[in-house]
Amino acid sequence: MKKNIGLLIVVLLVVATIGTYVKQQIDKDREIETASLGKEMEERKIGLKNGDTPPDFTLTSLDGEDVTLSELRGKKVVLNFWATWCPPCKAEMPHMQNYYEQNAKKDNVEIIAVNLTEAERDVTEDAKIDSVMTFRESFDLTFPILLDQKNSAGLAYQVITIPTTYFIDSNGYIQRAIRGPMNAEMLKSYVDAMD
């Protein structure tokens, strides 16, 4: 008799799995139907949720160039928020650099690392920028690093934990926000999963 209990659970599992799958497929079909009804007129919604258009900003990079987020449309954008004193940011930087060197061109990706300069732990503005400069040199980073000296982007993106990374597709929609560090493998799989 006992033999049947385990088998029974397995059969129930199979039934539950297939049932859930069928339901998922039906829901998906319905979603597509309703989406196709009223999508054309829809305007871009500015926000931080998946599918929203992220708040635009123009910040100056460490090399003195102005970078505007919306001008990067057409490329996939990995928008990373970080600070020099943050251990997980340090852990992920070499991975981002590796990814940038090996895959960014091929995958049509731009990495934008916004340094939360206002939150840097130096007293003067110049000292803060120096810290970021030293950090970039020590990790040999080649992707653009933007300085958010007034915490405007940090506020607009409600960055509370760092690192926080937004994945923005080539049409300029947020596909995903990741809190916590990523390695090169994760970064690649996130990028591959978006259009």
Q: Does 41 bind other proteins (CB under 8 A)?
A: no
Distance CA 146, CA 58 (A): 9
CA distances from 24 to 10, 28, 35, 161 (A): 21, 6, 16, 33
Site for other proteins in 70-109 (CB under 8 A): 87-88, 90-92, 94-95
For 116, the token pair is 């939360």
Q: Does 26 bind other proteins (CB under 8 A)?
A: no
Q: Which of 1, 2, 38, 49 binds other proteins (CB under 8 A)?
A: 2
CB of 100 to other proteins, least distance (A): 15
Distance CA 26, CA 21 (A): 9
Residue among 61 and 183 whose Cβ is closer to other proteins:
183
Edge-first strand order for the sheet with 145-147 is: 66-68, 58-61, 145-147, 109-115, 76-82, 164-168, 174-179
Residue among 73 and 94 whose Cβ is closer to other proteins:
94
Q: Does 189 bind other proteins (CB under 8 A)?
A: yes
Residue among 129 and 186 whose Cβ is closer to other proteins:
186
SS3 4: helix
Of the candidates 133, 17, 127, the residue with the CA atom closest to the CA atom of residue 64 = 133
For 158, the token pair is 């409600």
Distance CA 19, CA 27 (A): 12
Residue among 77 and 147 whose Cβ is closer to other proteins:
77
Options 75-83, 103-111, 112-120, 186-194: segment touching other proteins (CB under 8 A): 186-194
- Which residues in this chain contact other proteins in the complex, by CB under 8 A? 2-3, 5-7, 9-11, 13-14, 17-18, 20-21, 24-25, 87-88, 90-92, 94-95, 161, 176, 178-183, 185-186, 189-190, 192-193
